[in-house]
Structure 1
């Protein structure tokens, strides 16, 4: 008969025991709350940081808007100035063309007047044999009263006979003769107009010229007690007298 063997009892050394601690419900809740707080804190912190940055950047943004607005105004002003400058260029071009046309008309009128003077000189030649001799002519002397009884405005017009292709240059002198304190006296232009430049009556023309050129230079101031009687005009060049002519002191009207 076969003898059955009983299994040998195992000792505690043959077993491995692992102990897993059991997490309590309160601990799980605490961990869950911490996780929720952490997950919530990230966007909240980001939002708070963004809001803080926006608050700090608000003055900069406002200043930027002001600068952009000012830049827009400057651009508009620049465009307006550019259009104004362009219009001024157009006006200047038109004015230059008008001046050029006016100068051309003046030259044509001067040429016509010169030819008429030449024709007049030919007619005068019948009465005056030397009327056609080339040279300078004093066409007119005008004298006008002013608000001051001692101050008179004057104007002299000179022309020429001869070749119109050359410029005529000469100096013109003016003297006024009369009486002062019962005695004969003669006053020069320097005494009658001390503030006027010496070349105020300088002649340089092709057809004709009116002197003085500026109205403020065309005044004679008589001293107290002087009674004018005659005006003498003398044109000279290089020490030679070209023409000398006298006019009675006759006031023809009031200065304009």
Structure 2
């Protein structure tokens, strides 16, 4: 069984899948570095890019993405599971519609409202990112669990599995592909939305982007934008690998 699983992973995680995205990111970063190193930087641009400021903003961006995604999972996964249970099944449309409002609202407007309510700071930016990204995980969790053949659930209960056992050993493994697709979408959304954290005092690469726009310093703007794009590509690539690894062997597709 384990050997078959390993063979399936080798078949799906090809060398192209492992190399293409990181290789493209390396090329993009190299071209950006060549551009910046060949460009005359005045004192304003140098101040924006020196002293470890770029590394600091990149690290802040990673932290914002990781923390917000963690809270999205903590909220959306248990809630999605609960909404597929008989006691709360009727509440699912209303809760999903409420989550949809959060994503339908313009991100910058949502962040502005949260700043008025919670004040300026990273926690406000993270709260806005969570509200904005919770829908894909919630909706996919509900859809994945509802798509399971009821006969499989009844068969599991028929052989003596408890409700929790059926959920853990039958329902969740079968729903994993859809759930992971929602998590992957939320991750990429959070990388993009984190650029708006600068307007709420949250830092991140958005600081470089807005600084480049306000001071009209193209190198600063390009570095902030390119790093954001590269981070989104790497996050999506890593999530795709995790998706392959966690998908049950019987549900793998070529």
Say whether the fold is shared (TM-score over 0.5).
no
TM-score for the superposition, normalised by structure 2? 0.21
More strand, by proportion? 1
After TM superposition, the score normalised by the length of structure 1 is 0.21
